[in-house]
Amino acid sequence: MIVVAVLFWLAAALLVYTHVGYPLVLWLLARLKARRPHAFVRELPKVSLIVAAYDEEAVIADKVRNALELDYPPDRLELIVASDGSTDDTVRLAGEAGAHAVLDLPRAGKAQAQDIAVDGATGEVLAFSDANSLWAPDALRALVAALADPAVGYVCGQLRFTRSEGDTNEEGAYWRYEMAVRTFESQLGGITAGNGAIYAMRRGDYEFGDPFTGDLTLPYKLARRGLRAVYEPNALAEEPMVPTLEGEFRRKRRMMSRAWGIILRGGMLSPRGYPPLFAFELASHRLLRYISPFLHLLAFGTNIALLGRGWVYWVTFAIQVAFFAAAALGPFVPSRLTRVPYYYVLVTGSIAVGLWDYLRRGSPLVWEKARS
């Protein structure tokens, strides 16, 4: 039973570390390290803002108007809407709203739509956004200011979720936790994942033809080239939250079926080329997070086997049962005491289900947008 006990405590310790211990370690390291001052922007560069869209007729006109009203010199801003095989009025409405270029492309996936848009873009800086994300007026200036530092290769902004009456999704609580972690990472080795709703990079750092390009890949690929990925909280964007936890599970499941391709085939796990601090962040924040559903199964199974070996195992078993019981009540009891555990279980479960989807079908080339 010694091996079983070791496996139990190892699984439990890794779960506690990745969710609680790692943020505390980051907080301590960030307090010991001096903050980098923002570099001075002598002259605003020309920016190509690219919006890849699929069947976004309900929001695309508002997105175009929002982009054109940003506090940025109009002669230095190029707005490109790349429609990835939309079957609705996305193309027409984007053009009527004033987008500088609207690409009506065959359905081939977000990565290829972005590649084609970048190929025709004229900006020194490339900014990317989702069709349903609305930026604060000064958001683009904040992104550009972060890129004035030559050591920074990628910058993402802060996404805030807006809720409607009756929403049951607890993504907002998780996202605030995630943004706090990214704040500390940004001050240290760099963030380990970005945000597709609001980010920017220099044109010269963009890689064409990579099916795994995106929020998860850019930070670690740029780290191997000696560039940092940072989080700029002053670059604000808003988008509506998926209204239900079940809808959030489906969204996360789709995301993870693609993420597993990046993890297993995109080179993320290869340690070569990473700065030590970034490698530590990647292992703590990404690797342990992605194996957390299996750590939970290991902790629960070994805990059952250890019952009767001491009172401490009854306590740990009771804690786990109480947590999962609260999660089971989540769909029926309208309380954060039940919905937060329910959210955690669904999101953690989506990691495992996403792996199952990936093993059966591979990474999807095209994406489906979450319905709000």
Instruction: Please indicate, yes or no, if residue 71 is contained in any of the structural domains.
Output: yes
The Cα 256–Cα 123 span in angstroms is 32
Instruction: Please indicate, yes or no, if residue 98 is contained in any of the structural domains.
Output: yes
The Cα 139–Cα 266 span in angstroms is 30
CA distance to 96, 109, 133, 159, 339, per residue, from 71 (Å): 21, 31, 16, 18, 39
The predicted structure's pLDDT at residue 62: 96
The predicted structure's pLDDT at residue 213: 65
Residue with more model confidence, 365 or 292: 292
Cβ-contact 227, 152 below 8 angstroms: yes
Q: Is 128 a residue whose pLDDT tops 50?
A: yes
Q: Are strands 125-129 and 47-53 parallel, antiparallel or unpaired?
A: parallel
Instruction: Please indicate, yes or no, if residue 36 is contained in any of the structural domains.
Output: no
Instruction: Please indicate, yes or no, if residue 102 is contained in any of the structural domains.
Output: yes
User: pLDDT band at residue 372, thresholds of 50, 70 and 90?
Assistant: very low
Joined tokens for residue 17: 């570390």
Residue with tokens 């800086």: 125
Question: pLDDT digits over 201-258, tens only?
Answer: 999 999 887 766 677 888 999 999 999 999 999 999 998 876 677 777 888 888 888 8
**Lowest-pLDDT choice from 12-21, 212-221, 298-307:** 212-221
CATH label of the domain that carries residue 115 = 3.90.550.10
The predicted structure's pLDDT at residue 63: 97
Q: Is 85 a residue whose pLDDT tops 60?
A: yes
Q: Is 56 a residue whose pLDDT tops 70?
A: yes
Q: Are strands 77-84 and 101-105 parallel, antiparallel or unpaired?
A: parallel
Task: Give percent above pLDDT 90 in the chain.
Answer: 66
Q: Is 169 a residue whose pLDDT tops 60?
A: no
In DSSP terms, 232 is beta-bridged to 157
Sign of CA dihedral 84, 90, 96, 98: negative
Instruction: Please indicate, yes or no, if residue 146 is contained in any of the structural domains.
Output: yes
Instruction: Please indicate, yes or no, if residue 331 is contained in any of the structural domains.
Output: no
Cβ-contact 145, 38 below 8 angstroms: yes
Sign of CA dihedral 261, 264, 270, 276: positive
Joined tokens for residue 266: 């995109």
- Indicate the average pLDDT of the chain: 88
**Residues spanned by the domain of 97:** 47-245
Residue with tokens 């001096």: 34
Cβ-contact 109, 366 below 8 angstroms: yes
Question: pLDDT digits over 136-166, tens only?
Answer: 999 999 999 999 999 999 999 999 887 655 5
Helix (H), strand (E) at residue 185: helix 171-187
Q: Is 274 helix (H, G, I), strand (E, B) or coil?
A: coil
Joined tokens for residue 364: 């999807």
Instruction: Please indicate, yes or no, if residue 368 is contained in any of the structural domains.
Output: no
Q: Are strands 152-162 and 198-202 parallel, antiparallel or unpaired?
A: antiparallel
Total domain count for the chain? 1
Residue with more model confidence, 12 or 41: 12
The predicted structure's pLDDT at residue 98: 94
Helix (H), strand (E) at residue 153: strand 152-162
**Lowest-pLDDT choice from 4-8, 69-73, 131-135, 272-276:** 272-276
Residue with more model confidence, 346 or 267: 346
Instruction: Please indicate, yes or no, if residue 330 is contained in any of the structural domains.
Output: no
Cβ-contact 64, 97 below 8 angstroms: yes
The predicted structure's pLDDT at residue 150: 92
The predicted structure's pLDDT at residue 33: 77
